[in-house]
Amino acid sequence: MERLISGIRSAHELLLTAASVVCGLGAAALLTRAARGRAAAWAGAIDSLESRRSSRAAAAAALAVGLWFCVLRACMYRAFQLHVDTSILANTASETLRGRWLSCTVDGTPSVLTVHFAFFIPLFLSPLFLLWESALPLLFIQALAVGSTPLAAYLIARRRTGSNLLGWVTLLLLASHPSFHELQAATLENAVFGPPLFLWGLVLWDRGRPGGTALCWALGLTTREQFPFLLAGMGLYVMISEGRRDRRRLLQGAAAVFASAALWAVLMRIVGAHSDALNKAYWDQYAHFGASKTEVIATVLTHPELVLRQIFWPPARLLPVLKLLAGMAFLPLADPAGLAVLLSGAAHQLLKPNIIFFGQTASYAFGALAFATACGLAALVRRRMLEGGRVVWLLVLVLAAASWGFHDANRGINPFLGMHFIDDGPPLLSRIPRDASVWANENVGVWLSARSQAKFFTFSDLPFRFDRMLFRPEYVLVDKGMLIFMPSAQQARLIGFLAREAYEKVAEAGTLILLRDPRAPRGGRSPEAVLPAAADGAALVRPYLARILDSPRARERLAAYPADLRYEPESAEQKAAFALVLMQRGMLGPAIEHGRAAITLRPGMAQGHNNLGNALAAAGELAGAEQHLRAAWLLARLPLAGYNLGNVLIRAGRPGEAVEVLDEVSSLIADPRVFNSLGAAYMLAGRKEPAKAAFKQALVLDPGLADARENLKNLR
């Protein structure tokens, strides 16, 4: 199975690379006069095609893309590569179908309205579970919906330009755009359905079916509370494009803007009524506008100058927007009305400190971007800028943009994540009854999410909402490494619970282990559970780990390891994390061995280099430690790697170099240990005043830091 999935990933990579190369070569070829002549003839032939025939070809292309996306999603599902967000939506759909309205045991939320007005999937797609109780059909529907957007864009552009060719231009730009491939690779997410619903609503409007448009956009409101921003953008579009000629349309557009703003306020009031830490976190993203939700909204509505400054200053903030536009050959800039829809649809992202358009966040601008591109092409047609041979120069820009887009596209299937579970996961998953309550690692957990009671762990920790809506599981499917890598306090709570309740090992495969409650099967819903305090469970950790990690293979192959560390990591991430645990237990030789194995598997893994560098430093091998810590620092600018590198340089007697590294680290994180090490480097370099300032800053951040206080005392 791993070979099949790797082969499909390689085929997808090859398709994108080939598309990028072909488009790039096409753009270059059109710079020659002969090629431009042939291209002009082909453009005329495409435009002379019967529109219905052209539409059928576009529909076939979109269907092929959608089906291929389904294959990719199936591979990600089978390779255990889907983020816990997929499990959250699938579990919410399952709970909703069972009558527990929009609740989610995975996330510990009594209602998804806790943070977002988003319930399209659980409300409208949950009936699919009656036919197939798995997250996979939901993923297929999402893949087909995303795959349909180029067809919708084609129809919108052809309607507005009257040109088959320009419809195909829009389809190509959308299909090659990095945001399109971000949505293809996104987790199961309500917001991803927003662009298809928005664009198909426009298609229906163009066909004189306002009822269908209203239905699509009403459904769109259930995908995210930001959807009204798109509707406000359409109001702005009417005001800008038709308001000068028709005062009535100006007023209608203005009314649409205000109605959309009022609708957004209503949706946010509904969300706000479900008080929760996640709700507060949403508004914390806009803390630069006010200390509370009320202040933020008031500032945005009454101080447009602050809004404009946040969006446009400094100019570098607009680079993500320019990247969006570049993928569409900057065509949206040709029509201010269409551009207004894009800016309105992306407004909530533009107002954040950091503008991000990847993963599911690409959905906030993608539908508006497609519409703005069609509007830009229509504007060029109205100005007669594409007549004669000039359309060929447009094709040069379009092919160049498409070449860049295909090259920059998200490849979807990760060549590493979850691959070690492909063979080990299914046999253990098949041993868990369909109606059993379960705790599991998040990657394998997606196979278990379409059930009533499920909780999932991250790679090496408990999610911060794990204790909410907690229940006593009948089965626990967990990676052995996760139990070993956890922070000691979390480890004591989780393992203390499993030990206290006498969960027994029933099977294992690779790094996975299946535990069962001795009282299972219980029947009905599992009772509530409470994890013990860390202090109460600490003494139980090592004996219980030794018991469940024990096996004839472990006793034979890992006899030199303590009984609670008899673990054979498989992935690079597991080997790197195990190296850190071994180092902390003083087993420097095995730690270095596992660290080297990690970076052999993943030479570009910064965390692997950092952990190996730390182990080498602890063993006194400063040259090797510097090499790997510097690699970690250069690969990802990990602050921890920079801090460790600075300390190694200090130990190596090179305080000047340490100052350079630690000074940059101090600009990335406000950590008292970093400032203390920076002060030490300054002190050893003979620079007393900067050293004094660094020690003082360390004490400001942590008044109880004894090393900084002692260093400052010695400096005086």
Q: Please count the helices (runs of H) and the strands (runs of E) in the chain.
A: 36, 5
Tell me: the pLDDT tens digits for 582-598?
999 999 999 999 999 99
Give the lowest-confidence range in 67-71, 110-114, 360-364, 621-625: 360-364
Give Cβ neighbours of residue 559 (< 8 Å, ≥ 6 apart): none
Helix (H) or strand (E) holding 439, with range, is: strand 438-441
pLDDT of residue 276: 59
Share of the chain above pLDDT 70, in %: 98
pLDDT in tens, 438-447: 999 988 989 9
Percent of the chain predicted with pLDDT > 90: 67
Q: What is the pLDDT of residue 456?
A: 93
Contact present, 226 and 122 (Cβ < 8 Å): no
- The pLDDT value recorded for residue 299 is 85
> CB-based contacts of 431: which residues, under 8 Å, 6+ apart?
506, 507, 514
State residue 300's pLDDT score. Answer: 80
CA distance 146 to 265: 28
Rounded to whole angstroms, the Cα distance separating 604 from 606 reads 6
* pLDDT tens, residue by residue, 281-314: 677 778 888 877 778 878 887 888 888 888 887 8
Per-residue confidence (pLDDT) for residue 497, from 0 to 100: 95
pLDDT at 451 over 80: yes
Distance from C-alpha of 457 to C-alpha of 434, rounded to nearest angstrom: 20
pLDDT number for residue 205:
95
Higher pLDDT, 36 or 379: 379
Give the lowest-confidence range in 157-171, 191-205, 560-574, 700-714. Answer: 700-714
pLDDT at residue 70 tops 80:
yes
What amino acid is encoded at 30 in this protein?
L
- Partner residues linked to 586 by β-bridges: none
pLDDT reported for residue 83: 84
Instruction: Give 528's pLDDT tier (boundaries 50, 70, 90).
Output: very high
pLDDT number for residue 359: 66
pLDDT at position 1 is 79
Which pLDDT does position 479 carry in this prediction? 92
Give, as one character, the DSSP assignment of residue 121: I
Residue 240, phi then psi, degrees to nearest 5: -75, -45
pLDDT band at 89 (very low <50, low <70, confident <90, very high): very high
At 506, the pLDDT band (50, 70, 90 cuts) reads: very high
Q: Report the pLDDT averaged over residues 518-547.
A: 90
Q: Contact at 8 Å (CB) between 156 and 55?
A: no
Instruction: Tell whether the model's pLDDT for residue 280 goes beyond 70.
Output: no
Question: What tens digit of pLDDT does each residue of 201-232 get?
Answer: 999 999 999 999 999 999 999 999 889 999 99
Mean pLDDT of the chain: 91
pLDDT band at 272 (very low <50, low <70, confident <90, very high): confident
Per-residue pLDDT at 278 exceeds 60:
no
**Averaged over 515-529, what is the pLDDT?**
90
Stretch 384-407: mean pLDDT, rounded?
A: 92
CATH of the domain spanning 570-715, picked from 1.25.40.10, 1.20.120.1200, 3.40.50.880, 1.20.1540.10: 1.25.40.10
- Model confidence band, residue 145 (pLDDT cutoffs 50, 70, 90): very high
Task: Average the pLDDT over each of 264-268, 572-576, 650-654 and give the range with the smallest value.
Answer: 264-268
CA distance 674 to 701: 11
* 431 closest CA partner among 447, 454, 450, 452: 447
Inform me whether the pLDDT recorded for 468 exceeds 60.
yes
Strand 504-509: give its sheet, edge to edge. Answer: 454-457, 438-441, 475-479, 512-516, 504-509
| pLDDT higher than threshold 70 for residue 708 | yes
pLDDT, one tens digit per residue, over 150-201 is 999 999 999 999 999 999 999 999 999 999 999 998 889 999 999 999 999 9
Q: What's the first-to-final CA gap in the chain, in angstroms?
A: 66
Q: What is the model's pTM?
A: 0.88
pLDDT of 350 reads: 83
In whole angstroms, give the CA distance from residue 645 to residue 639: 10
Encode pLDDT of 678-689 as tens digits: 999 999 998 989
Backbone angles phi and psi of 504, in degrees to 5: -110, 145
Q: Which of 381-395, 412-426, 461-475, 574-588 shows the lowest per-residue confidence on average (mean pLDDT)?
A: 412-426
Cβ atoms of residues 229 and 344 within 8 Å: yes
Residue 277 confidence (pLDDT): 52
3-class secondary structure, 627:
helix
**What is the domain partition of the chain in residue ranges?**
2-224+314-341+359-408, 423-557, 570-715
